[in-house]
Chain A
Amino acid sequence: MERVKEEKKKFKWPFYITKKIGLPKWKYWLIRVGGILLAFLVAGITCAILKPGTFGLFYSEMFRGCFDFSDISSVIDLFVEFSLLLLIALALTPAFKMKFWNIGAEGQILIGCLISAWIARFAPSEWPNFLILLCCGIGSVVAGMIWSVIPALFKAFFNTNETLFTLMMNYIAKILSALAISLWIKNGSQSFGVLTQGTFPEIMQNSGTLVIVFAIVAFVMLYFYLKNSIHGYEISVVGESLNTARYVGIDVKKVIIRTMIFTGSLMGFIGFLIVCGVHQSFNDSIVAGKGFTGVLIAWLGHFEPFEIALFSFLSAVFEQGTTTAASAVNMSSHQFSSICTGIFFFIIIACEFFSSYQIKMHKKEKEEEVKDDVSN
């Protein structure tokens, strides 16, 4: 009897969490759209708390930062950011579908950046720009491929943990980049400056415009690769059930390696776009966390190209909009934009949680139970 008493004293949470099954699609999207709106609202409130009286300004500046059509270049900037996030998330998707948790996008892109920067900086100046760009592109693709195929080989042959491995490769890429800069920039200032050759041409005031074109092409190609190609089909089977893959005679090792070659090549290419197109410069943090944001986006987009596009776009709007808004209300752009992007993803992930789980209260009184019965 004493034992029973003891148990009763123990603290108990007033609620418990159960899985929600069979949420209709429209309800799910309602929750998500609600979440997105909430994220905008919370970001505005955060801004107003940090700098009182700026609630309205936050939104007008955010809009101006993204959709100021009097400045075509800034609109293109938004779409460039969108394109980069889209490309990264899409490049990750085949591997993720295969349940190969590659979180090394950051490093795979950075190593591509490094090679592009190296070639563009040291290519003979008498070479035509086009040739330099070609070399940069090829070099970056190969570099990104190497960076991703190493963990894939280890996974395929030694079954090492790909998450830790790819993460580690990020740091190696970062250190190599820092080392390269200190070797190249002999005065010790660590400042790479702007590339004088191997740069994309400016179209509509912006050297990143071509990035958008590449993203559209890649989007279409990847869409069909995932949905209708034999490779895409094999990837799905491997991801869903290793046993089934084995059973139908799919060479799982081959698929892992092939998919990571694909992912890595695209990552390297994105690095090329960032260095030669967007920034025309290089430093060891030039990828600026996009590789990790891409992982989030791919996940939130359920590896579906159109959903990924949606979240890439929203993420780009949030980043660029809040960067502009921050300076209008005298806050540090980078920090504030990071906070807002954090809010955005936090709320969207919370939406995911609440669409798969529900919180129920423990029933205390018997009367309540009866009431509940009726509602059931």
Chain B
Amino acid sequence: MKKLSRIFLAVLSGAMMSLAGCSEVKAKVYEKGKPVKIGLICLHDNQSTYDKNFIDAMGEAAKNLGASKVDGEPIIKTGIGEDNNCYNAARDLVKQGCNVIFADSFGHESFMLKAAKKWPEVTFCHATGTQAKTANVSNYHNAFASIYEGRYLAGYAAGLRLAAMSANGELKAENFDKDGNIKLGYIGAFQYAEVISGYTSWYLGVKEVVPNVVMDVTFTKSWYDPVAEEAGATTLIDRGAALISQHADSMGAPGKCEVAGVPNVSYNISTNADCPKTYTAFSKINWAPYYEAVINSLFEGKPIAGEVNNNFTGTLDTDSVQYDAKDQNAKVACEVIKAELEAGTRKVFDCSKFTVEGEHLTSYLADVDDFGDFVKETEAIKTEGGITFFDESALRSAPYFDIAIDGITTLNSGF
């Protein structure tokens, strides 16, 4: 034992001595016009549809930009938790010479911001985050897309299928509530703005076709939990949901729907191959345009195109928001709606189309500026071209619609 302790002390003191000779990580200063070295931090790997969407987009963007603008393969770190490991991953990317570092999960934000302050020479871009607008750190950026429009379109396509089912008499008694409304179901992760905005826009899309719908929402309290997502789908099916969608990243819910024969609208990925019977439509954010915009701006030494207050919101125009429907006739009908959305003649959160406790909204303060205080300070209701609507994703990139509207029931608390 004594021998062992001596060896141990020798190793320890040796390590300490060598520590004294160490130095800190220095970021490489980027010179414009040179290929950009890219890093990407992902919460999970491509087993998760959410992360796969980012990883695929990065591959596509790198291909589009070409070797002249991208230095080698982007370095992708997967399975990075939402704690100091994210900061450590960022540090390792800086060490490997990355000029821009992206991260994909909401919980990464604080650690990305910490890293951005540490290495001002490197550009840090965080998807889905909320703090860039208020943090005032010039090399820290947030990005999101108007995915609520995509969901609205997917919901519209789903509404068309529901209408057809209704007409064909495929709906059963349990699909109706006591007031004769058709029941929908939705599996969410957490009960916060990004998810609420998602399911409300989808619901409004369906409602646009089939006015008498109500929706149950159940939360899994995790971004990726196949078992919980499948359990959520089971609950909703047992409650008589005629159509189901989810804001959760595994195949748990779509798989269950396929087995039960309940039509499903997916997110981030088309489940057409795995669930041919029930796949109805999907929507997703295409991150490639954003990645390309960031790299191009770095390459040219210009600010990131389309950014306001360090916030980038991808739109239908820039192909940042994508959707598809299985039924080509439905797709055609959706394209009409899409054109209206692009033209601004139609708004997803049109206050005349939904009520809150029986009233149409005329004013709503949303928590747009994230100081970590949860104070709702910004008026989000706007009137433009005769439409009074909730102006989602315009004041910052990440969604801030967190209103419980009539017709949607949350089965459990998302806390």
Contact = CB atoms under 8 A, between A and B. Distances in A.
State if A and B touch, Cβ cutoff 8 Å: yes
Interface of A: 65, 68-77, 79, 178-179, 182-183, 185-194, 196, 204-205, 278-281, 283, 285-286, 288, 304, 306-307, 309-310, 323-324, 326-327, 330-337
B79 A332 contact: yes
Interface stretch (B13-21, B267-275, B302-310, B340-348): B13-21
Contacts of A330: 76, 78
Nearest to A182: B415
Contacts of B44: 332
- Most B-side CB within 10 Å, residue of A68, A182, A193, A309: A193
Contact of A326 (B21, B79, B88): B79
B11 to A, nearest CB: 8
B277 interface: no
Contacts of B221: 178, 190
Nearest to A279: B84
A193 B76 contact: no
A58 to B, nearest CB: 16
B135 to A, nearest CB: 11
A71 B25 contact: yes
A187 B83 contact: no
B63 interface: no
Contacts of B4: 306-307, 310
Contacts of B111: 194, 281
B168 interface: no
Interface in B41-78: 44-45, 47, 75-78
Contacts of B24: 71-73, 204-205
A281 B84 contact: yes
27 contacts: A71-B91, A71-B95, A72-B22, A73-B25, A77-B88, A182-B413, A183-B415, A188-B415, A189-B107, A189-B192, A190-B190, A190-B221, A190-B415, A192-B110, A194-B110, A278-B84, A279-B83, A280-B84, A281-B84, A283-B107, A285-B81, A306-B5, A307-B4, A327-B76, A330-B76, A333-B77, A333-B85
A204 B19 contact: yes
Given A70-B95, A190-B107, A306-B5, 4 more contacts: A65-B92, A74-B88, A76-B19, A193-B372
A233 B373 CA distance: 52
A322 B413 CA distance: 38
A188 B22 contact: no
A373 to B, nearest CB: 39
A69 B75 contact: no
Given A186-B374, A327-B78, A327-B89, A332 B190 contact: no
* Interface hub of B4, B75, B194, B402 (most chain A Cβ within 10 A): B4
Contact of B106 (A183, A191, A286, A309): A191
Contacts of B192: 187-190
Contact of B23 (A70, A188, A309): A70
B109 interface: yes
Nearest to B18: A69
Contacts of B88: 74, 77
A191 B415 contact: no
Nearest to A70: B23
Contacts of A76: 19
Interface of B: 1, 4-5, 8, 15, 18-19, 21-25, 44-45, 47, 75-85, 88-89, 91-92, 95, 106-107, 109-111, 113-114, 190-195, 221, 367, 372, 374, 402, 413-415
B109 A74 contact: no
B156 to A, nearest CB: 27
Contacts of B195: 188
A310 B414 contact: no
Contacts of A72: 19, 22-24
Nearest to B83: A279
Contact of A189 (B19, B79, B106, B413): B106
Contacts of A310: 4, 8
A79 B8 CA distance: 14
Nearest to B51: A332
Nearest to B55: A330
B22 A70 contact: yes
A217 B169 CA distance: 75
A212 B5 CA distance: 18
Given A71-B22, A306-B4, A330-B76, A187 B374 contact: yes
A372 B248 CA distance: 65
Nearest to A304: B1
Contacts of B95: 68, 70-71, 74
A310 B12 CA distance: 11
B23 A335 contact: no
Nearest to A193: B110
Contacts of B77: 327, 333
A90 to B, nearest CB: 14
Contacts of B402: 187-188
B113 A194 contact: yes
> Can you list the 5 inter-chain pairs with the closest CB atoms, starting with the nearest?
A188-B192, A182-B415, A332-B79, A334-B79, A72-B22
Nearest to A187: B192
Contacts of A79: 15
A4 B290 CA distance: 80
Nearest to A336: B79
A327 B92 contact: yes
A194 B78 contact: no
A73 B8 CA distance: 22
Nearest to A278: B84
B82 A283 contact: yes
B356 to A, nearest CB: 18
Contacts of A324: 92
A76 B75 CA distance: 23
Given A187-B402, A190-B190, A332 B45 contact: yes
B91 A74 contact: yes
A281 B83 contact: yes
Nearest to B131: A193
B92 A74 contact: yes
Contacts of B414: 188
B91 A333 contact: no
B8 A306 contact: yes
Contacts of A280: 84
A307 B107 CA distance: 37
In this complex, the member of A73, A188, A194, A283 whose beta carbon has the largest number of chain B beta carbons within 10 angstroms is A188
A62 to B, nearest CB: 13
